[in-house]
């Protein structure tokens, strides 16, 4: 599997150059998100405009992506974000990353831009730039089908839809029907270069260096996985299982733009109904033992999903109560290539602004935009993708929309670091979740640190064993939660660097996948020896370099807070339990948690990595 190779593709010069990744860089960053941030940090600066040809589109499957039996399907797509203007980084599953590894190219680093629509083709022998004028204007699903027919079963593609072509700032990138690099507008960056699709064509699977050792490791891993009850349920329900746990069991799902956590009359938004009435078969990412995707049929539509974030965002967050409408929207936004989190949050925010009278109906061009008005919401999605009227305002992303409507409207938007919140959960309930969203390097996001074990009722002794310090077992407590996020951010960055799916991390008990496991996996896969401590340091290095990128862009402590709304009790008190009525984040306690997190990271009180930290991690130069 080594050395890893990077193809530098310059669209202006129509030139390709392939270089090897030095072993020292591989040892320090592994692959995927790790090497992506290394390349990005050293190729752009604060002066680089996200839509300029100099901003690279970096495609990086994880170090072990393509190996069988461990959900190693993932690929990171990075660049300076057209949505936030800060760190752009998004992770996609499906089949593309594994098939890209088969071409012998581990990273694509694309600069410049084309004057005409193109797609990029890769196989073992060639990398070429092809005419895509016949694909421009087509949906992601149509594009995928056309390219599959053109190149046959050994090919996989990623593509943008109409949203990416129209430079909607939160456009995403799709493989097949639903595998999505959703966050931070990487589809917009791809559209700015006029790249409609990237096709990879490879027949021979990737093999580990030490086959016997790898098989042994996989046997143990898969036996352990079978004993995990939540993983079994994940396979049955897909990630919509989280809707049952978060919205139903814990009751912390956001509704109505975070004005409430209750959704009366919304019983139809149900993973059980989804499973019993609409699922038509299973699907999954490359060689995943869980296979949590599901195909569904509703009316004429045959699609896949919906993921938890779409179910919750286009259900309670915007107030839609009809499951069929959510299933329709799931297919629609994937065809357009729109990020579901930003789209739903911006629509919910607009509805609240209308309700508060902060904007008037004249901006809607006749749409009766209201909670749960599915026709108006669907029409607004069309207008966002095609940049029409109000859709055009929202298509410029949160930062520009707040400027347009007035800075005072920003306090009703659930966002920070210029990005709407990904997680459709209310952050008042678990302070650790709030800190993790606030410090996430790409903006408020649960996929950087979601500490699901907060809800597992583990003993304080077990927690001390995992995290190495005193942690309260109470998920409502702030005690030790800075340490929890320090640990989870580090841990999950390794999943992204290796190319393993994090859904497994969220649904397993502690111990099945730990740093020693990663160490053995890297050794079997590549022959590189790294101790568990060195693997942990790789995670720290990735998080620190991302922070250095953000600091260079002007980010500091004031940007590491959740939205103001979470420091106030829920606005709509109907249906709340007595203990939920006054629930809010405590600012002083949050500051304490942030201090603890900074201290463990080796950052100063403003969140800037100290020189000693940079020295220790080899990031000083």
Which of 102, 193, 254, 293 touches ligand SF4 (CB under 6 A)? 293
* Strands 415-416 and 87-92, bridge-based pairing: unpaired
- Closest distance between ligand SF4 and the C-beta of residue 96, in Å? 12
Footprint of ligand SF4 on 89-118 (CB under 6 A)? 93
For residue 159, list its beta bridge partners: 174, 197
Q: Which of 525, 546, 543, 540 is nearest to 63 (CA)?
A: 525
User: CA 490, 418, 165, 374 torsion: positive or negative?
Assistant: positive
Between 294 and 481, name the residue whose CB sits nearer to ligand SF4: 294
Between 137 and 281, name the residue whose CB sits nearer to ligand SF4: 281
Which of 58, 67, 122, 501 touches ligand SF4 (CB under 6 A)? 501
Tokens 């009766």: give the residue. 368
- Closest distance between ligand SF4 and the C-beta of residue 58, in Å? 21
Q: Which of 143, 119, 106 is nearest to 21 (CA)?
A: 106
- Closest distance between ligand SF4 and the C-beta of residue 349, in Å? 28
H or E element, residue 559: none
- Closest distance between ligand SF4 and the C-beta of residue 72, in Å? 8
Which of 67, 162, 168, 292 touches ligand SF4 (CB under 6 A)? 292
Kindly state whether residue 291 participates in binding ligand SF4, applying the rule CB under 6 A: yes
Phi-psi region of 332 (alpha: psi -120 to 50; beta: other; left: phi over 0): alpha
Kindly state whether residue 317 participates in binding ligand SF4, applying the rule CB under 6 A: no
Stretch that binds ligand SF4, among 77-85, 291-299, 334-342, 361-369 (CB under 6 A): 291-299
Q: How many distinct helices (H) and strands (E) make up the chain?
A: 25, 17
Tokens 């629930």: give the residue. 583
Stretch that binds ligand SF4, among 82-90, 281-289, 336-344, 358-366 (CB under 6 A): 281-289
- Closest distance between ligand SF4 and the C-beta of residue 285, in Å? 3
Between 91 and 439, name the residue whose CB sits nearer to ligand SF4: 91
Stretch 58-87: interaction string toward ligand SF4, x if CB under 6 A: -------------x-x--------------
Strand order in the sheet with 293-298: 279-283, 293-298, 301-304
Q: Which of 171, 191, 520 is nearest to 342 (CA)?
A: 171
Between 196 and 446, name the residue whose CB sits nearer to ligand SF4: 446
Question: Cα(142)–Cα(298) distance, rounded to whole angstroms?
Answer: 19
Decide: 95 and 73 in contact? Cβ < 8 Å: yes
Tokens 């103001």: give the residue. 564
Q: How many residues bind ligand SF4 (CB under 6 A)?
A: 12
Between 7 and 242, name the residue whose CB sits nearer to ligand SF4: 242
* Strands 195-201 and 15-20, bridge-based pairing: unpaired
Q: How many CB atoms lie within 10 A of CB 573?
A: 12
Between 66 and 284, name the residue whose CB sits nearer to ligand SF4: 284
Which of 108, 132, 288, 545 touches ligand SF4 (CB under 6 A)? 288
Residues that bind ligand SF4 (CB under 6 A): 71, 73, 93, 284-285, 288, 290-293, 501, 503
């Amino acid at each position: 599997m080594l050395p890893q190779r990077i193809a530098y593709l310059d669209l202006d010069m129509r030139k390709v150059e392939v270089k090897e990744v030095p072993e020292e860089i591989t040892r320090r960053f592994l692959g995927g998100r790790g090497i992506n941030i290394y390349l990005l940090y050293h190729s752009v600066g604060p002066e680089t405009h996200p839509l300029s040809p100099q901003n690279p589109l970096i495609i990086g499957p994880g170090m072990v992506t393509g190996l069988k039996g461990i959900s190693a399907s993932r690929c990171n797509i990075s660049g300076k974000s057209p949505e936030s203007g800060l760190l752009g980084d998004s992770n996609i599953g499906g089949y593309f990353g594994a098939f890209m590894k088969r071409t012998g190219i581990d990273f694509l680093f694309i600069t410049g831009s084309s004057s005409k629509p193109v797609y990029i083709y890769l196989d073992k022998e060639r990398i070429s730039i092809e005419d895509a004028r016949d694909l421009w204007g087509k949906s992601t699903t149509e594009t995928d089908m056309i390219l599959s027919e053109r190149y046959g079963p050994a090919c996989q593609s990623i593509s943008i839809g109409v949203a990416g072509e129209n430079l909607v700032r939160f456009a995403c990138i799709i493989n097949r029907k639903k595998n999505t690099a959703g966050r931070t507008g990487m589809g917009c960056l791809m559209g700015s270069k006029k790249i409609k699709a990237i096709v990879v064509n490879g027949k021979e699977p990737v093999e580990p260096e030490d086959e016997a050792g790898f098989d042994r490791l996989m046997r143990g891993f898969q036996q352990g996985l079978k004993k995990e009850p939540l993983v079994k349920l994940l396979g049955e329900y897909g990630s919509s299982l989280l809707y049952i746990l978060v919205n139903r069991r814990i009751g912390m799902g956001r509704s109505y733009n975070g004005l409430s956590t209750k959704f009366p009359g919304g019983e139809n938004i149900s993973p059980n109904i989804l499973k019993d009435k609409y699922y038509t078969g299973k699907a999954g990412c490359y060689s995943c033992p869980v296979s949590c995707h599901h195909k569904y049929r509703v009316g004429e539509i045959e699609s896949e999903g919906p993921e938890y974030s779409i179910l919750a965002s286009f259900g309670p967050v915007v107030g839609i109560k009809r499951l069929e409408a959510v299933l329709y929207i799931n297919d629609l936004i994937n065809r357009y290539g729109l990020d579901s989190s930003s789209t739903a949050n911006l629509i919910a925010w607009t509805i609240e602004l209308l309700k508060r009278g902060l904007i008037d109906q004249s901006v809607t061009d006749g749409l009766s935009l209201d909670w749960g008005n599915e026709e108006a919401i669907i029409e607004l999605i069309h207008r966002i993708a095609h940049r029409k009227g109000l859709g055009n305002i929202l298509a410029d992303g949160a930062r520009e929309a707040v400027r347009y409507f007035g800075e005072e409207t920003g306090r009703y938007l659930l966002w920070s670091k210029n990005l709407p919140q990904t997680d459709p959960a209310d952050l008042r309930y678990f302070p650790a979740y709030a800190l993790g969203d606030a410090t996430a390097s790409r903006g408020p996001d649960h996929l950087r640190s979601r500490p699901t074990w907060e809800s597992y009722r583990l003993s304080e002794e077990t927690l001390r064993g995992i995290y190495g310090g005193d942690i309260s077992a109470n998920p409502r407590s702030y005690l030790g939660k800075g340490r929890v996020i320090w640990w989870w951010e580090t841990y999950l960055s390794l999943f992204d660097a290796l190319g393993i799916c994090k859904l497994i991390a969220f649904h397993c008990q502690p111990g099945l996948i730990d740093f020693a496991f990663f160490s053995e996996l890297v050794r079997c896969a590549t022959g590189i020896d790294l101790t568990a401590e060195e693997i942990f340091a790789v995670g720290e290095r990735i998080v620190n370099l991302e922070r250095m990128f953000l600091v260079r862009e002007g980010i500091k402590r004031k940007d590491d807070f959740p939205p103001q709304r979470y420091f106030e009790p829920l606005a709509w008190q109907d249906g709340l339990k007595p203990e939920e009525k006054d629930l809010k984040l405590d600012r002083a306690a949050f500051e304490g948690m942030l201090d603890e997190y900074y201290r463990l990271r080796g950052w100063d009180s403003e969140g800037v990595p100290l020189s000693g930290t940079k020295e220790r991690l080899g990031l000083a130069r």
